[in-house]
Each structure stands twice: as structure tokens, then as C-alpha cells.
Structure 1
Amino acid sequence: MKDSIVIDMQYADYDLIDGTPNVHRHHIFEGVANRPLSDADGLWVPLSQEHHEGKLSVHNNKEMCTLMHIIGQLAYEKKYYKDLCGIKDDPAREQFRSRYMRSYL
């Protein structure tokens, strides 16, 4: 799995939300088609068991899931734009839509 582009890797062993240790790596864009893309693009975050699979977790709470999708898309667009600096038009949003088949913004 590629390093995360969402967080600084020095914090990869701590929960994104409250900083607790002992984390799972959550693929921001899940599913059969999107999990390999999340791996390749570094779109994962560290989450504790409670935030990953608990009652109010990304897998059981629509608002938390939507928030993670927004965070992931913004990280992707920032990275994509940074890699293509110098191009007048910002193609990052369209590139994201093309790759993940929708926009969360």
C-alpha cells in the first residue's frame, strides 16, 4: 500500500480523529473497483477500531463516510494539481471524476 497523501506519515500509527494508537488503515474509497485505486493513489487514513467499524464509524454513519470522501477528494485534487503545476486550467476535479466516477464536492 502506498503512503497516504491525506496525512503526514509520521502520524500514520494514530487515529485521524482523536489520536489514539492501534489503528486500522481505512480505504477512503471502498468497493471492488475503488479499493485498488485508493491503494494506488494513497487515499487511506488511520482510524481506531471505534472510528473504523463502531456505531458512529465511517462504515456505519453516512455523515462520517461523506466527510471522509470529501477529505479524500480534496487530498487527491491537491496532489494532482501540485504534480501538474504550470497548467493554466485546473484539471484535478475532472481527473477525480473520471477516476472515481463521481465528485463529492
Structure 2
Amino acid sequence: MKDSIVIDMKYAGYDMIDGTPNVHRHHIFEGTANRRLSDEDGLWVPLSYEHHEGNMSVHRNKEMSALMHIIGQLAWEKHYIVEHEDVSEDDARDAFRKRYGKSYL
């Protein structure tokens, strides 16, 4: 799995929401194909059990899931712009849509 492009790797051992240790790596985009793409693109975040699988978790709370999708897409677009010269935000958004099938913004 590629290093996360969402967080600084020195914080990868801590929940991105409240900083607690002992985390799970959450793939931001789910489903077999999108999970593979998330691995390739570094689209994962560290989450505690409570934020990953608990009652207020990304898997049980649609607002939390939507927030992760927005964060992931913005990180991917920023990374895409940095890696490609002369690419606009609109170009990056189009590239994200082609890769992941839709925009979450």
C-alpha cells in the first residue's frame, strides 16, 4: 500500500480525527475496484476503531463517509495538479471523475 497522500506519514499511527493511537487504515473509496485505486493512489486515512467501525464511524454514518470522500477527492486533485504541469483544477476534477467514476464535490 502506498503512503497516504491525505496525511503526513509521521502521524499515520494516530486517528486523524482525535489523535488517539492504535488505528486502522481506512480506504477512502470503497468497493473492490475503488479500494484497489485507493491503494494505488494513497487514498487512506488512519482511524481509531470508534471512527472506523463504531457507532459514529465512517462505515455507519453517512455524513462521516461523505466527509471522507470529499477529503479524499480534494487530496487526489491537489496531488494530480502538483504532478502534472499546466493542469487546471477543472482538469484535475475531470481526471478524478474518469478514475473513480464520479465527483463527490
TM range (shorter): over 0.9
Conserved in 1, the CA contact under 8 Å of 2:77 and 2:89? no
**Structure 2 segments unaligned to the other structure (5+ residues):** none
CA offsets 1:12-33 (integer angstroms, 9 cap, x no match): 0000000000000000001111
Cα 1:81–1:56, aligned 2, differ >3 Å: closer, same or farther? same
User: For the residues of structure 1 that align with 2:101 and 2:87, how far apart are their CA atoms?
Assistant: 23
Distance 2:55 2:71 in 1: 21
Q: Using structure 2 for the length normalisation, give the TM-score.
A: 0.96
Q: Which residue is 2:101 aligned to?
A: 101
Q: Which amino acid aligns with 1:61?
A: N
- Over 3 Å counting, the alpha-carbon distance change for 1:63 and 1:88 in structure 2 is closer
| Corresponding letter in the other structure for 2:62 | K
* Separation in structure 2 between the aligned mates of residue 71 and residue 25 of structure 1, nearest angstrom: 15
TM-score, normalised to structure 1, is 0.96
- Structure 1, unmatched stretches of 5+, are none
Corresponding residue for residue 31 of structure 2: 31
Q: What whole-Å deviation, never above 9, does each CA across 1:3-55 have from its counterpart, x for those lacking one?
A: 00000000000000000000000000011110000000000000000000000
Percent sequence identity over aligned pairs: 72
In structure 2, C-alpha distance between the alignment counterparts of 1:102 and 1:36, rounded to whole Å: 16
What is aligned with 1:13? 13
Partner of 1:66: 66
Go from structure 1 to structure 2 and tell me whether the alpha carbon gap of 1:2 and 1:97 turns closer, same or farther (over 3 Å shift): same
Where in structure 1 do 4 or more consecutive aligned residues deviate above 4 Å? none
Instruction: Indicate the RMSD between aligned Cα atoms, in angstroms.
Output: 1.1
